[in-house]
Chain A
């Protein structure tokens, strides 16, 4: 229906503020003076909404975002055991570099924690070329004294190896791959894989006795994740998907996202400034090769990227919305056995409406004759004690045989 001009939905609310802008490509300009420290420099870094600055000033600025995210929330106890998850992307290398730098500073400024790095090898699941082992080993020497480990996605946590002992396993007999093949839609596969990856990282953290895990999601990832979570029906737990701290992992492991305030441009600049070499290009995630319209996740990420090009504030606005929401938490409610979010299926009118639709569709014209209480039937279905949340039920429904777990 045409809903123009309803103040309930306030159509023209922000339209005027959304002037179409184009992102300047300008990464590094010719020699000039840094507007911050006034030192002449060969390379100047001009970020959106900032004046041009020299390499040192830029690095200090970017690193401060990382430290501020951790420091302001007072979330990392002194001398915590930290596991950094490396996936080979530019973001994860930036995180590694920043963490390494934070540890080499003098005592006063040093980030006091003990870090280990785990590289998650996804090549079997993704069907792409194996990682360049030499490049990975170079990283481990460059970033000594961090211990580097490798784990293959889908393998048992016990199969984790130190980098120097690691050689790719050749048998493709991976249970995760079998499960993924059973799921009918790419949407469900990507959703399932994301959860399994998280579980694996959590197990690895427990094996290495780490209490905190660092993931390298940046603002655009989190904006996409928020919209994806909403589209998947995970609104109740979406806040944890995008927050600095996600405590849904088992065994009291806490997932942190210290790069959440960085944007793509800052990552690019940082990579350039520090001459880092990403092992994989962005967008090489699972299922991306099937195109935009293959899954809700692909579609959402394309949508955000597209909107960001025309409206430069899209990502930050969505991301800030994510900052304002809180997760459903009710200590009396049990959590989903799969994704460990708080269960809320029983209380929802909307879910009852979906089940009721199914019941009346089955009854058809005879729905008044049968005398059966269809609402009761719908309620019974909704109260199914499988311990899954609404979104995980959608994955389970696609699994023709076998259990999700």
Chain B
């Protein structure tokens, strides 16, 4: 006997929602999925009327679904938002070229303006994943003059991050990784996660049934060792009990820290003026490494980097002295 949709619409169920375990038909699933995102946006006041919002677009399933749903909800519920797609071209050969094609397809499908920023424009260097993409997003968003950036982080990503930060003992990130809005201080652009409560599986189903075009090759640099462990663990947990993803997010939100635990100070980089918790910021260190011809600078221990700089300076000084000596004669 076929299973009937839980909403009693009379249709046959097409899928079982991992989040609640309910069997739904396609149409009811779409309605529920979209309504939930609308609920997340409205209950957390993510956007204000008249704002310009950049949708961080990578061409992957999350950002494609995000762009689609935001456009749809913007029209349906009259948010009054100006949506633009913002994409960063890191120049990873083979990966970025194809995914950018997908982003362009999104632009045509959803009639949204698209801005592709290349690393060359931003930093004056083309490189394969040396600088963090989020840093590039911040700089890109500033160029475009948007009020906030919407990213495609889904519930799985957040749960995974909670686990990873517990495994690494990173209390600073553990504090903020579950918040739906980050940044938004004086000179930073707030970043929001409208898909915070959407399961990755449901996003894939939504994209599949809506026949959305997305780029589904895994990034060539994934998976990173430690995040990989957390991810594999989360997938195993999800098989045992699907509600675990929301439970972990809930746990992450409920964690409180003792007063004795040091809080990170949020400062601005003295060199480039962008927000950074380190002095100078990671981007500046990495760029300095490239400009100095020491590409390993900023990767690995700070003390090692300092030693490398000191060594180079010493060599330079030595060479200069040698030049002086030569010139004397």
A interface vs B, CB < 8 Å? 1-18, 185, 187, 226-227, 229-236, 238-239, 293-296, 299-300, 303, 307, 314, 317-318, 320-321, 324-328, 344, 348-354, 356-358, 360-368, 374-375, 390-391, 394
13 A-B pairs (CB sep. < 8 Å): A2-B58, A2-B222, A5-B129, A231-B244, A232-B251, A239-B255, A314-B167, A317-B168, A324-B169, A324-B171, A326-B258, A357-B36, A360-B31
Contacting residues of chain B (241-278) with chain A, CB-CB under 8 angstroms: 241, 243-244, 246-259, 261
B interface vs A, CB < 8 Å? 5-9, 17, 19-20, 22, 24-25, 27-28, 31-32, 35-36, 39-40, 43-44, 58, 60-63, 129, 131-135, 152-154, 157, 161-164, 166-171, 173-174, 177, 180, 182, 191, 197, 218-219, 221-222, 224-227, 229, 233, 236-237, 239-241, 243-244, 246-259, 261, 282, 299-301
Known: A231-B247, A295-B240, A325-B257. A367 touches B225 (CB 8 A): no
Known: A185-B241, A350-B246, A364-B24. A7 touches B166 (CB 8 A): no
Known: A3-B157, A231-B244, A350-B197. A326 touches B43 (CB 8 A): no
CB-CB < 8 A to A226: which residues of B? Answer: 166
B258's partner among A5, A324, A353 (CB-CB below 8 A) is A324
In the bound complex, what is the Cα–Cα distance between A229 and B177 (angstroms)? 18
Q: Which residue of B lies closest to A342 (CB)?
A: B254
CB-CB < 8 A to A7: which residues of B? Answer: 132, 134-135, 282
The answer to whether A11 and B7 have CB atoms under 8 Å apart is: no
In the bound complex, what is the Cα–Cα distance between A239 and B168 (angstroms)? 17
Known: A234-B251, A303-B233, A350-B249. A317 touches B169 (CB 8 A): yes
In the bound complex, what is the Cα–Cα distance between A9 and B43 (angstroms)? 25
The answer to whether A353 and B301 have CB atoms under 8 Å apart is: no
The answer to whether B7 and A14 have CB atoms under 8 Å apart is: no
The answer to whether B32 and A296 have CB atoms under 8 Å apart is: no
Known: A361-B32, A367-B32. A4 touches B219 (CB 8 A): yes
Which A-B residue pairs are the 3 nearest by beta carbons?
Answer: A364-B7, A235-B251, A364-B28
The answer to whether A361 and B17 have CB atoms under 8 Å apart is: yes
**Given contacts A15-B226, A296-B237, A360-B32, could you give 8 more A-B pairs where the C-beta distance is less than 8 Å?**
A1-B152, A5-B129, A8-B182, A231-B248, A317-B169, A324-B169, A362-B7, A364-B24
Min Cβ gap B120→A in Å is: 17
In the bound complex, what is the Cα–Cα distance between A14 and B302 (angstroms)? 12
CB-CB < 8 A to A2: which residues of B? Answer: 58, 60, 218-219, 221-222
In the bound complex, what is the Cα–Cα distance between A356 and B244 (angstroms)? 17
The answer to whether B251 and A229 have CB atoms under 8 Å apart is: yes
The answer to whether A293 and B236 have CB atoms under 8 Å apart is: yes
In the bound complex, what is the Cα–Cα distance between A184 and B317 (angstroms)? 73
The answer to whether A9 and B251 have CB atoms under 8 Å apart is: no
Min Cβ gap A178→B in Å is: 23
In the bound complex, what is the Cα–Cα distance between A191 and B7 (angstroms)? 32
CB-CB < 8 A to A1: which residues of B? Answer: 58, 60-63, 152-154, 157
CB-CB < 8 A to B22: which residues of A? Answer: 358, 361-362
Known: A236-B254, A348-B250, A364-B24. A8 touches B134 (CB 8 A): yes
In the bound complex, what is the Cα–Cα distance between A85 and B257 (angstroms)? 30
In the bound complex, what is the Cα–Cα distance between A366 and B5 (angstroms)? 12
In the bound complex, what is the Cα–Cα distance between A177 and B323 (angstroms)? 87
In the bound complex, what is the Cα–Cα distance between A340 and B39 (angstroms)? 32
CB-CB < 8 A to B299: which residues of A? Answer: 12, 16
In the bound complex, what is the Cα–Cα distance between A318 and B218 (angstroms)? 29
Min Cβ gap A84→B in Å is: 28
Min Cβ gap B126→A in Å is: 15
In the bound complex, what is the Cα–Cα distance between A8 and B253 (angstroms)? 17
In the bound complex, what is the Cα–Cα distance between A16 and B299 (angstroms)? 8
Known: A357-B20, A361-B6. A348 touches B237 (CB 8 A): no
Known: A364-B9, A375-B39. A357 touches B255 (CB 8 A): no
CB-CB < 8 A to B162: which residues of A? Answer: 230
Q: Which residue of B lies closest to A355 (CB)?
A: B20
Min Cβ gap B290→A in Å is: 15
Known: A227-B166, A230-B162. A6 touches B134 (CB 8 A): yes
In the bound complex, what is the Cα–Cα distance between A320 and B171 (angstroms)? 10
In the bound complex, what is the Cα–Cα distance between A2 and B61 (angstroms)? 10
Chain A CB within 10 Å — which of B7, B39, B250, B257 has the most? B250
CB-CB < 8 A to A9: which residues of B? Answer: 161, 164, 173, 177, 227
Q: Which residue of B lies closest to A185 (CB)?
A: B241
A321's partner among B19, B157, B171, B253 (CB-CB below 8 A) is B171
Q: Which residue of A lies closest to B259 (CB)?
A: A326
A325's partner among B25, B44, B255, B282 (CB-CB below 8 A) is B255
Min Cβ gap A365→B in Å is: 5
Known: A12-B299, A367-B31, A367-B35. A5 touches B132 (CB 8 A): yes
In the bound complex, what is the Cα–Cα distance between A227 and B159 (angstroms)? 12
CB-CB < 8 A to A294: which residues of B? Answer: 240
